[in-house]
Structure 1
Amino acid sequence: MNWLQNKNTAFKIGLLICIMSITLGGVGFIGHYYFQQAGISLNNLYTNDLIPIRDINQARSDSNALKSAVLAVTSYTLDNAINKQQLDQITVRENSIDKFIAGFQPLATTSYEGERLVKAKDLFKNLKDVIQKSVDLAQAGNKTEAMNYYYKNGFSQQEDFQSLLRDIGNFNIDEAKAQVNKDNSMIVRVQLVLVVLPIMAILIGALIGIIITRMIIGPLNMILKSVEQVADGDLNVDKLTIHSKDEVGLLATSFNAMIINLHSLVSKISNTADQLAASSEEIVATMEQNSLVSNQISASISEVANGSEQQVKALTETSATIEELSASIEEVASSGNIVANTASKTVQIAKEGNITITKAVEQMSIVGNSTELVQNAVNKLAVGFDKISEFINIITNISSQTNLLALNAAIEAARAGEHGRGFAVVAEEVRKLAELSQDSAVNIITQVQENRENIKDAGIAMSSAVSSVNDGVEVVNTAGKAFANIAGLIDEVSSQVNQIAAVVQQMASGSQYIVSSVLAIDTVSKETSNQTMNVSAAVEEQTASMDQIADNSRGLASLAEELRYAIEKFHV
C-alpha cells in the first residue's frame, strides 16, 4: 500500500468514492437491466404464448359449438325460430374460426405452428363445405341423408381440426413453460448478483475506508502530540518518522525542520541573553568605577582652588586620573559596540524564527482545508445513496404492479374454467417472479442503508480529523505569538544598547576635553583659576552622563533577565 500512502489525501478519498460509486452503479445497472429483461420476457410471454393459447381455446370452443349446432340442425326436427337460431350459430362460429385463423398467422412464428395452421386452414375450408352441404340437405327435408353425410364426412375432419388446434395449444403451453423456467433461472442469477455485489461493495468500502482513515488520523495524532510538547516549551521532541508523500508527510517534514530551526534559534537567543547580561554587569561596574573617579576629580579641583601651592601636585593627580578615566571610557565604548552587534543579530534570529512559525501555520491551514474537502466528498456520497434508494423504491412499485397484474390474470383464468388452466399456471409463475423481484429490491435497500451508515461513520472520522488539525493550528499560533513577544523584547534591548553607545561616545568626547584642559593648565599656570571652573563644569556634566549610563545599564540588565526568563520556557 506504499503507492497509496504516497498519494495526496484528495486522491485517497476520491479513490474510495470512485470504487463505491462504480460498485453501486454496477448494482443499479444490473438490477435495471434484468428487470428490463423481465418486463420484455413478460410481454413476450403474454403476446406470443398467452394470447395464442386464449385464441386457440376459443377456436376449440367455437368448433365444439359448431359441431353441436350442425348436429341439432341435421338430427332433430326444430321449429323455425330454433332452426334459424342454430343456423345463425353455425354462421357465427364459422366466422369466429375464420377470424382466428387469419389473426393467428402473424403469431405463428415457428415452423411447427405455421405447418399446422396451414393444415388447419385447409381442413376447416373442407369442413365448411361438408357442413354447408349437410345443412342444405337438412333444410330440403332430407335429415337422415344430411346426418349420415355429416357423420361420414364431417366428424373425422372436425376431430382432425380439433387435434391440430390442441397440438398448437400444447406447443404454446410448452413454450410458456420454457420461458418461465428461463425467467426463473435469470431470477436466481439476479438474486446472486444483487446479494454478492452489495456485500463486496460494503467489504471493499469498509476496508479502504479503514486504511485511508488510519493513514490520515495516525500520523496526525503523532504530529499533534509533538506540537503539544513544543507548545509546552519542550523542544527535545523525537523526530517524526512519517515517510509518506501526501500532505501529512509534507507537514511532518516541515515540522521536523521547524524543530531543528527552533532548537538552534532558542540556543542562540539563550547564549546571546547570557552575553547581554554579562555585558550589562560589566557596564554597571565600569560606571560605578567612573563615578568614583569623577568624585576624585572633583576633590582634586577643590584642592586646586584652595591653594596654588598644591597646583602642580593636583594637576599631576588629575592628569593620571583623567588618563585612567579615558581608558575606562574606551573600554565601555568597546563593550557597548559588542552588545549592540549582539542585539542586532538576536533581532534577526528572532525574525527568522517568527517566519518559520508563520510557514508552519500556513501548512497546518492547508491540511485543515484538505480535510474539509474530504468531509464534503463523503457528504456528497451520502446524497448519492439517497438517490439510489429512490430508484430502488421505483423498482419495488413496478414489482407490486406486476404482482397485481398477475393476480388479475389468475382471476380471469379462473373465470375461463378448464380452458384457462394453462393461463392460470403462467399467471402464478408471473406472480412468483414479481414477488422475487420485490424481495430482491428489499435486500438492495437493506444493503444501501448499511452503506449509508458506513459513509456516516467516515463523515464523523473526517470531522474528528478537522478538529485535530484546528487544534494543531491553535498550538502553532501560540508558539508564533511567543516568538513575536521575544522579538519585541529584543528590539527593546537593542534600543537601550544604542542609547548606551550614544552616551559612551558623549563621555569619550568629554574625557578628551578634560585631557586638553589639564594640559592647558599645565602649560598656562596663570589661567589656573579660570581653567579650574571649566574643569569643574565638565566634571559635573561627566558625572551626570555617568549616572545616565548607569541607569541605562541597569535597565539593560533588567531586560536581559526578562529575555532569559522567556527563553527558560523552552527546554533545549
Structure 2
Amino acid sequence: MTILHSIKSKLLGSFSLILIFLVVVGTINFFQMNSIESTYKQLIDGRSTAVSLIKDLSIAINDEKIATNSYLLYADEASLEQYTAAIARYKKLSHQLEAIINDPDEWLLLQGLNLLQIQYTNYAEQMLDLKAQNKTADYMAIGSTNIEPISKKFYEAAQKLTGIQESLLKEGIANAETQTAATQKLSLAISVLAIIIGLTVALWISRSISRPVLLLSNAAKVISGGDLTMQQFKISRKDEIGTLAASFNIMVDHLRRLIQEVGINAEQVAAASQELTAGAEQTTKATEQVVEITGDVTTGAERQLSTVRDGLKAIHYMSEEAEMLSTEAKAVSKEADSSSHLAQEGSLSIRTAIETMRNIEETVSDISREVTVLGERSQDINQLVNVISEIAGKTNLLALNAAIEAARAGDAGRGFAVVAAEVRKLAEQSAASAQNIAGLVENIQEHTMTTVQKVAVGTHVVSSGMDAVLAAGNSFDTIYSSIQGVAVQMAKVTDTSQDISKSTQQLVSTFEHISAVADNTAAGTESVSAASQEQLATMEEITSSASALAKMSEELIGMVNKFKV
C-alpha cells in the first residue's frame, strides 16, 4: 500500500478540493464586503454628516433669530451673548460643511446660504442699533420687510440642499445594494459548484469503500452461521480495504484451526468430568454419615450445656437475691437506727414547737391590738384631710374674690392679682393633695380591716396548730418505742442473710466450674460438626462442578459440531 492509493489520501484530496472552493468563496466575500462597507461608510460619514450639518445651520440661524428677538424685548446682556454665540456656531458649521461637499451645485447652494446669513446678520445689527436708540418702529419695520423674507429664503435653500444630499444618499445606497446582490450571486454560484464537485467526489469514494466492505460483511454473516468452508478473498487493492481483506482471510484460517482443536479438547474434558463425578459422589456419601454422627453428639452436648447454663443462671440469681437481702437488711437496720434518733429528735422538736406556737399566739394577739389602733388613727387622719379640703376650698374662693377685686382696682391691684393667682394655685394643689391623701387613707383602712380579719383567722389557726403539735408529740413518743423494737429484729435478719449469701457464693463457684467443662465439650463437638459440614459442602460443590463441567463439555462438542471445517 502506498500513500497515493490510501483511503486517507483520497479523503484528504477530496476535502482539500472542497476547502479550496470554500476559501475562494470566502476571499471573494471578504473583499466584496470590505468594498460595500467602505461605500456605506462614505455614505454615512459624508452624506449623513452633511444632512446633519445643514440642519444644524438652520438651528443656528433660528437661535440667532431668537436671541435677536429676546434682546429687542428685554435688552439684556445674556441675549446679546447668545446672539454672538449663534453667529460663531454658524460660521464653524459652515466651514465643516464646506470641507465635505464636493459637488459644485451643492457648493453654490452653501455659498447662497452663507450670503443670506450675512444679510440676516447685517439687518440684525441694524435692529440692535435702533433698539439702543429706542427706535422701536424702525427696527420692527426692518424685521417685517427684511428679516422674515431672508429667513424664509434661507430655510428654502437649506431644504433644497438637504434634498440634494438625501438624493445622493439614496443613490449611494442603491449602488451598494446592487453590489451586494452581485456578490451574493457570485458566492451562490461558486457554492453550488463546490457542492456538485463535493457530492461527486463523495459518491466515488463511498462506492470504492462500500463495495468491498459489503463483501466482507456478507462473509462474516456466513461465518456467524458456522460455515468455515468459504474460499479466501482475492482483493488486489493497495489501500486499507486490501489490508482488511488479507487480515480477514488470516482470521478465518485461524478460526478454522481453533474450532478443530476445541472439539478434540472438549471430548477429553467430557471423559475426565464423568470419572470425577463418580468419585465425588462416593466421597459425599461417606461424609454425610460422619455429619449425621457428629450432629447427634453436638445436639447432646448442647442440651447438656443448656441445662448447666440454666442451673448457673438460677444459682447466680439466688446469690444476687441473697446479697440484695443482706444489703437491704443492713440498710433497713441503719434506717431503723436513724429513725430512732430522728424520732427522739422529733419529740424534742415538737416540744420546742409547742413553746414557739405559744409565743406566736401572744404575738398575733399583740398584732391584732396594734392593727385596731392603726384603724382608729387612719380615721383621725381622714377627718384632718376633710378639714384641709374645706380650708383649700375656702382659700380658693377667697383667691377668686381677691382676683375679682384686683381686676376692679386696675393697675393698682395688678400685684395683688398675681398673689391671688398664686394663692389660688396653692389652694388647688392643697385640695388635690388632700384628695390623694384621702384616697391613700381609704386604702389603708381597707387593708387594715383585711389585716384585722386575717389576724383573727391566724389566731384561730395558731390555736389549732397548738392542738396538732401536742398530738404530734404523743405520736412521736409511740413511734420511738416501735422503731427500737424493729431495730432489734432487723439485726437478727442481717446476720441470717449474711450466712445465706456465703452459702450461695460457694454454690456459684461449683456451677461455674461445671459450666466451663460443658462449654469446652460443646465447642469441641461443634468444631468437629462444622468441619464435617464444610467437607460435605465442598464435596457437593465438587460433584456439582463435575456435573456442570460434563454438561458444558457436551454443549461445547455440540457447538463445535455446528461448524463446517
Q: Same fold (TM over 0.5)?
A: no
Quick check: which has more Rg, 1 or 2?
2
Q: Give the TM-score category using the shorter length.
A: 0.3 to 0.5
Structure 2 length normalisation: TM-score?
A: 0.37
TM-score, normalised relative to structure 1: 0.37
